[in-house]
A and B are shown apart, each in its own frame.
Chain A
Amino acid sequence: MNFSIAVMQAFDGLSLFSVLLLMALGLAIIFGLMGVINMAHGELMTLGAYMTYLTASGFEKYAPNLMGIYILVAIPVAFLASFALGYALERLFVQWFYRRPLDTLLATWGLSLILQQAYRTIFGSGEVSVPLPSWLNGPWNLNSTIQIPLNRVFIIALAAGVTLGVYVLLNRTRSGLRIRAVTQNRAMSAAVGINTRKVDALTFALGSGLAGIAGCVFTMIGSTNPGTGQLYIVNAFIVVVFGGVQSLMGTVLSAFSIAQSQSWLEYFMSGSMAKMTMLAIVIVVLYFKPSGLFTTRVRS
């Protein structure tokens, strides 16, 4: 293996890392911080993907000369749509299940089936895809042997930006302070005057909105169909559990290690074997560290 292949291989892992990270961030908030198992999280990603598709179609029809920047509009659109759906879901549905985690799992799975069928009814069961803006098309030639696809660079930058945003929001703002307060001690937070139900709804909506952004990114690397969310949901859960719930940094590191190992394994064996080996490694590691790799001790 020479240097160029090593660089491209590492880059492959890096771009897989950013996709996994975007997928898992929303879940890290909903599952990790709030402790809610939302099996419909994948469908919130799909919503983001379909919103991107709608935005692209809208631009194509009404402003074809602005097609280059549609993706910049689609990201907030996807975020807001999933944010709104997440907010509605929490208010109307999820909030009644907070004390029954296993029931939440089944009920939200039912919800995910309903959403899938709704997408199928609205958008059809076929694949839809969006054109990449021209400035993201094609490779970036570092030198004559190392080529890096531009859309992947964009995804990596986006993942970095979103992660930074979430970090700042949670750790440097008053809303973030409230979110952390409620997740750490609900009763005490309520006693000092925090409206915990409002914080719950907004936290859930924030996680959902992040899923929307992940969905938007999916359209840049593949096509979307009503069942797309199902493909990613288990992986997202694995990333969060592996990293250790209640730790955003854990999610980042976990996504990084899973992505890098998988893309290196793929270099040495077939894709499915690499995936399987990776899952097996995760399960073995979880066996020895059941609370995840990178846990910070918190009082329960």
Chain B
Amino acid sequence: MKIKREYMELGALATLALVLLVAFPLLLGGFYLNLAGKYLSFAFVAIGIVLTWGYGGILSLGQGIFFGLGGYALAMFLKIEASGSNLPDFMIWSGIKVMPAWWAPFSNIYITLAAIVLIPATMAFVFSYLVFKKRVSGVYFAIVTLALALTFTVLLVGQQSYTGGENGITNFTTFLGYDIYSHASTYAIYYTEIVLLLFVAMGSTAVIRSRLGNVVIAIRDREDRVRFSGYNTAAIKAFIFMLGALFASIGGAFFTIQAGLISPTVVGVTSSIEMVVYAAVGGRLSVPGAVLGALVVGFLQFYLSNNFPHIWLFFLGALFILVVTAMPNGLMGLLDRFALSRE
């Protein structure tokens, strides 16, 4: 059974790779490919949620913060490039005369990329280690992260002259000199994203199957016992949480370039909670499921909110209820049960 499940998981990953690398670019036009890229940026977050929530038992309702850190970091770089020798437009409107010191480093692509990786990872590790050390977990952790997500958006909206406020940062033109809206760029950005996504997916699968993964599952199920056995459970949980944050940040950066904007709405409380549903729909224990969930919910939202705008929220609400009542392991759980029952 266990062996079979492992093969199935590998099969699902391979199918995913084929669909994303070959089928999508062949079948979808530029517009839909860009849309798929936008929804896949949430797949990064969803994979992180599978790790932290599904395997680690840590429900964070603040993944939007890390998504936002990555997204805003790249947005700052793109905005500086788009503005040329001028200050970004929203700064001029707010009457700012010189580039703020903490913006300036983001004119360098290497620093920006390093920031996308290091800032969320460091923040996530330090914050969650301190919190887990205090043995705050479960519902309280969820509420604390929710409060942080709220704080983050309040800060973004409030510091309008530095963050673009409610409207966020938008109107990008080029990335390292290449027009980001050209046909070739659409494909280049898409492929970069998919390669990275598959890398993240395979890395996560490897982590889950490693010794570390076993310890994480053990912590989820019986933290006390693992602690008594001599493990530093807080550090292990913090590491998993850091991975989740790192993935979210990478996803956020891709969202910025795919959607052409980043704003407080995208990273706020509501969308942080929606990110959890992506993972839940696909299956909280399945890495390929997380990608599937992000795509399915994304395209459903696109279809329903364009054609039946009144139904979308009813549908999303029902989806939340459905996944926790009827299919706790999501779409992949259904598939799993179906395949294993045919033996």
Chain A residues near B (Cβ < 8 Å): 37, 96-97, 100-103, 105-107, 109-117, 120-121, 230, 234, 237-238, 241, 270-273, 275-276, 279-280, 282-283, 286-287, 290
Q: Which of B298-343 contact A (CB under 8 A)?
A: 310, 312-314, 316-321, 323-325, 328
In the bound complex, CA of A270 to CA of B158 (Å): 8
Q: Is B35 an interface residue (CB 8 A)?
A: no
Count A/B pairs, Cβ under 8 Å.
108
- Does chain A have a CB within 8 A of B154? yes
Query: How far is it, in angstroms, between the C-alpha of A230 and the C-alpha of B270 when the chains are bound?
Result: 9
Please measure, in the bound complex, the distance between the C-alpha atom of A275 and the C-alpha atom of B151, giving whole angstroms: 8
A230 CA / B146 CA spacing, docked (Å): 12
Main secondary structure of the interface of A (DSSP, over half): helix
Contact B316 A110 (CB under 8 A): yes
Q: Is A105's CB under 8 angstroms from B130's CB?
A: no
What residues of chain A lie closer than 8 Å to B140, measured between beta carbons? 241, 290
Q: Which of B3-11, B80-88, B181-189, B272-280 contacts A (4 or more CB under 8 A)?
A: B272-280
Q: Is the beta-carbon distance between B151 and A111 smaller than 8 angstroms?
A: no
Q: Could you list 27 examples of A-B contacts with CB < 8 Å?
A: A37-B142, A96-B325, A102-B59, A102-B142, A105-B139, A106-B323, A107-B320, A107-B324, A109-B273, A110-B316, A111-B317, A113-B320, A114-B314, A117-B312, A117-B313, A234-B146, A241-B143, A241-B144, A272-B158, A276-B154, A283-B144, A283-B147, A286-B136, A286-B144, A287-B134, A290-B135, A290-B136
Interface residue tally on B, bucketed by range: 35 or more
* Set of chain B residues within 8 Å of A272, measured between Cβ atoms: 154-155, 157-159
Given contacts A117-B313, A287-B131, whether A102 and B269 have CB atoms under 8 Å apart is no
Q: Is the CB of A117 within 8 A of B147?
A: no
Binding site for A on B (CB under 8 A): 59, 61, 130-131, 134-136, 138-140, 142-144, 146-148, 150-151, 154-155, 157-159, 269-270, 273, 276-277, 280, 310, 312-314, 316-321, 323-325, 328
A97: chain B residues within 8 A (beta carbon) = 324
Contact B147 A238 (CB under 8 A): yes
Is A283 a contact of B148 with CB atoms below 8 Å?
A: yes
A272-B158 Cα distance, complex, nearest whole Å: 5
Tell me whether chain B's interface is mostly helix, strand or loop, or mixed. Answer: helix
A113 near B325: Cβ-Cβ < 8 Å: no
Once the chains bind, are B314 and A117 in contact (CB under 8 Å)?
yes
Contacts A113-B313, A114-B318 known; A102 to B139 CB distance under 8 Å? yes
Interfacial chain B residues near A121, Cβ < 8 Å = 310
Interface centre among A97, A120, A241, by most chain B C-beta atoms within 10 angstroms, is: A241
Q: Is B158 a contact partner of A273 (Cβ separation < 8 A)?
A: yes
Pairwise interchain contact A106-B154, C-beta atoms closer than 8 A = no
A230 / chain B contacts, CB cutoff of 8 Å:
269-270
Known: A117-B310, A280-B151. A37 touches B139 (CB 8 A): yes
Residues of A close to B158: CB separation below 8 A: 270-273, 275-276
A282 vs B138: C-alpha distance when bound (angstroms) = 19
A110 and B314 alpha carbons, distance in the complex (Å): 8
A282 CB contacts on chain B under 8 angstroms: 147
When the two chains form the complex, which single residue of A110, A115, A279 contacts B318, counting CB atoms closer than 8 Å? A110
| B49 → A minimal CB distance (Å) | 12
- Nearest-neighbor residue (CB-CB) of A282 within chain B: B147
CA distance in complex: A241, B269 (Å): 18
